[in-house]
């Protein structure tokens, strides 16, 4: 009878070790995967051209920036998700002398998630898999044409 508790205690210690190691292993795997993506995949993807420009939660700064991009790259379609009022965006594009033919305005979203959720079907319809995503972060664009990263894979566009 005395051996049974010893064996149970040994198994208990074994599981305690694994419970302590598991978060460390998971964290290590995540860091390793991130390092691989940044070191290998990002430079490869930066060389590929952009299919579309997505402005998430457009603000006046982002819309001015994208109007200038539209002037430089008139053939790339632009989707502005929940931006300023239509007349304001129209005036910004006219001021930048940028073409308005490839500009689409999405007005259904009311949050950042909604911006993405409602943009996905439009981007899927366009056949876009390589995006320049312009988002808020002290007014800085997160990716530039020619230096992009893959933000939405074709698999994710089937959401």
Examine the pLDDT at 3 and tell me if it is beyond 60: no
Instruction: Give the confidence band of 77 by pLDDT, cuts at 50, 70, 90.
Output: very high
Examine the pLDDT at 35 and tell me if it is beyond 80: yes
What is the reported pLDDT for 86? 79
Domain residue extents for the chain = 1-47, 52-158
Q: What is the pLDDT of residues 120-148, one digit of tens each?
A: 899 899 998 888 888 765 434 444 433 44
C-alpha to C-alpha distance for 123 and 157, rounded to whole angstroms: 8
Is the distance from CB of 112 to CB of 82 less than 8 angstroms? no
Examine the pLDDT at 51 and tell me if it is beyond 50: yes
What is the reported pLDDT for 140? 42
Instruction: Give the confidence band of 156 by pLDDT, cuts at 50, 70, 90.
Output: very low
**In percent, how much of the chain has pLDDT > 90?**
8
- How would DSSP label each residue in the chain? --HHHHHHHHHHHHHHHHHHHHHHHHHHHHHHHHHHIIIIIHHHHHTSPPSEEEEET--HHHHHHHHHHHHH-TTS-EEEES-S-HHHHHHHHHHTT---TTEEEE----SHHHHHHHHHHHHHHHT--SEEEE--STT--S-BTTB----S-TTGGG-
Examine the pLDDT at 24 and tell me if it is beyond 50: yes
Instruction: Give the confidence band of 25 by pLDDT, cuts at 50, 70, 90.
Output: very high
Q: What is the mean pLDDT of residues 91-117?
A: 84
What is the reported pLDDT for 89? 85
Examine the pLDDT at 155 and tell me if it is beyond 50: no
Fold of 52-158: Rossmann fold (3.40.50)
């Amino acid at each position: 009878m005395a051996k049974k508790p010893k064996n149970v205690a040994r198994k208990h210690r074994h599981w305690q070790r694994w419970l302590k190691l598991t978060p460390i292993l998971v964290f290590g795997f995540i860091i390793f995967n991130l390092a691989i993506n940044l070191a290998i995949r990002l430079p490869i993807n930066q060389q590929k051209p952009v299919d579309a420009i997505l402005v998430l939660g457009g603000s006046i700064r982002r819309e001015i920036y994208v109007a200038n991009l539209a002037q430089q790259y008139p053939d790339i379609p632009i989707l502005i998700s929940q931006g300023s009022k239509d007349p304001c965006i129209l005036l910004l594009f006219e001021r930048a002398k940028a073409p308005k033919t490839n500009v689409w305005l999405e007005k259904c979203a009311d949050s950042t998630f909604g911006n993405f959720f409602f943009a996905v079907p439009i981007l899927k319809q366009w056949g876009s898999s390589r995006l320049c995503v312009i988002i808020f972060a002290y007014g800085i664009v997160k990716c530039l044409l020619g230096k992009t990263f893959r933000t939405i894979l074709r698999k994710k566009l089937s959401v």
